[in-house]
A and B are shown apart, each in its own frame.
Chain A
Amino acid sequence: MKKFINQVDDLLVESLSGFAAAHHDIVSLNLDPNYLVRAHKAESKVALISGGGSGHEPLHSGFVGYGMLDAACPGHVFTSPTPDQMLAAAVAAESGKGVLFIVKNYAGDVMNFEMAAEMLPFEHATVMTSDDVAVENSTYTTGRRGVAGTVIVEKVVGSLAETGADLAACKALGDRVNSRTASMGVALTSCTVPAAGRPTFDIEHHELEMGVGIHGEPGRRRELMRTADEIVADLVAAILDDLKPVQGSEALLMVNGFTGTPLMELYVLYNSAAKLLKQQGITISRSLVGDYTTSLEMAGASITVCLLDEEIRRHWDSPVHTAALRWGK
């Protein structure tokens, strides 16, 4: 393992401290329990709170700020945060209109947020994201994972919340965006959890993991490495098979890097996916390309398609001012 580390146990707090210092105009950090809130607390809006294991940066801390989240709770690397973090974050961020949790559908995140919700002294609701289509068998009661599409949910619901919309409206829009969003990822290399010190899974030079999750947990199957176009064809086919868009649908196409794949290659994936979607009669009117939901140093990427409508597009376009997403303001 070759990483920039002082003491492995100090990694999380040092990283959070650096993040908060670099973006002190946007966020402020609380330690023990760990959470990030907006540097300037918003008034009279639904408080949007998300969180999850660390190692996926900029998710979620990088999306705290105007137009997106009010607070984020980072857990240990690839490990869900704990209920005391969510409770403290909620107390800090709540401004009279209740709390909306945005939770990626992973067992640990679901249970910890559930316990926090049970103890919450405010009106609250939860949007569960489940955009990953990689898990084929729908009888698995754990259900689909929440991955890069979570960024789109946070952006769109964040915009609606800024208008002063109530909790029920925010929850409804979040659920709607989630239902119109599908993702699938592929890994070319593994990643190393710093405290474990060695790669999470073994993968040969000529192999790829199709349908990988954002923690390096295995996906659909191990396959032989092949061309970008061939890989994208499989990802897009799985996504369209799930979304079943009608001819003339309008979409946001997101190509998300897991960290170890250069932007140059991400644009190769975008080029390929955009052509395929166009062939299917889908108009791509919005895009997002870059590292937004990462898996430590893993090489690989995911493709996300979100079917837009007038409302979702408007909230995607509205101003946002966070460490990792910033436009229009």
Chain B
Amino acid sequence: MDTEFILRAAEAVHQAILTHESEIESLDRAIGDGDHFINMKRGCVTIVGMREELAPLAPDVALQRIGMKLLSTIGGASGPLIGSFFISMAKAVKEEGTETLPQIATAFSAGVEAIKARGKSDIGEKTMLDVLIPVSQTFTRLTDEGFERASLLAVLKREAEQGMLSTRSMVATKGRAAFLGERAVGHIDPGAKSSQVIIDTICDLALMK
């Protein structure tokens, strides 16, 4: 994973988020407060707009810059969570590198751990973590087992989708949807949906590589 891949991923995610605008917005209107799509878009536009600044940088430096920038741009609950994800991922990339799949899995896992710590949240609470944790765990397990790249990515896409769908039947205990209690049951969490879109997009991009 080089810096160019990170930038192309950001551009692809930006497009994918725009494509899913109405879906993410209607989920957020149902159980959130209507700002999730706007915040995600603002984050994407920000990273895409940093291409010239980021392109010459090493991946870990680029990820760190992205994290700090998102922290001061997105706001809301997403800002600290996604900002912390990138900053922790940058640290792991700096220590471990990004040449091999196990290294990337380690960096991704470090990012997900940072979201858990900052949000004081875990799997099963109807949040983005219901997508990110299973994807991260499977990513680590399959790379340890030496899974072949294309089938690994296909499994991660499926894992993300299952995680996203699993939030439908959950009662929220974290995030804005927590205020609804039982009323949120039956709705997919908008943060889980946008996370699934992001994972799906990045896997597709990696498959084309």
Beyond A193-B35, A193-B38, whether A107 also contacts B179 by CB under 8 A is no
B173 contacts the other chain (CB 8 A): yes
A263 sits at the interface (CB 8 A): no
Interface of chain A, helix or strand or loop or mixed? loop
Interface size on B, residues (CB 8 A): 35
Residue A200 interfacial (CB < 8 Å): yes
- Given contact pairs A111-B80, A193-B34, A82 touches B173 in the complex (Cβ within 8 A): no
Question: For A140, what are the chain B residues with a Cβ–Cβ distance below 8 Å?
Answer: 173, 178-179, 181
Give the complex CA separation of A221 and B180 in angstroms. Answer: 9
CB distance from A294 to the nearest CB of B (A): 15
Cα-based distance from A325 to B75 in the complex (angstroms)? 28
Q: Which residue of A lies closest to B184 (CB)?
A: A218
Contact of A201 (CB < 8 Å), options: B29, B38, B175 = B29
B34 touches A200 (CB 8 A): yes
Q: Does B133 contact A (CB under 8 A)?
A: no
Tell yes or no: A137 within 8 A of B by CB: yes
Q: Is B57 an interface residue (CB 8 A)?
A: no
- Check A75 against B76 for contact (C-beta < 8 Å): yes
Q: Is B74 among interface residues, defined by CB-CB distance under 8 A? A: yes
Chain A contacts for B118, CB-based, 8 A: 111, 114-115
**CB proximity of B209 to chain A, nearest CB, Å:** 34
Residues of A that sit less than 8 Å from B by CB: 33, 53, 75-85, 106-108, 111-112, 114-115, 134-137, 139-142, 145, 193, 195-196, 200-201, 213, 215-219, 221
22 contacts between A and B (CB under 8 A): A33-B72, A75-B75, A76-B42, A79-B39, A79-B75, A84-B71, A107-B119, A108-B77, A108-B78, A111-B80, A111-B119, A112-B75, A137-B181, A141-B173, A142-B178, A193-B35, A193-B38, A196-B35, A196-B37, A200-B29, A217-B32, A217-B33
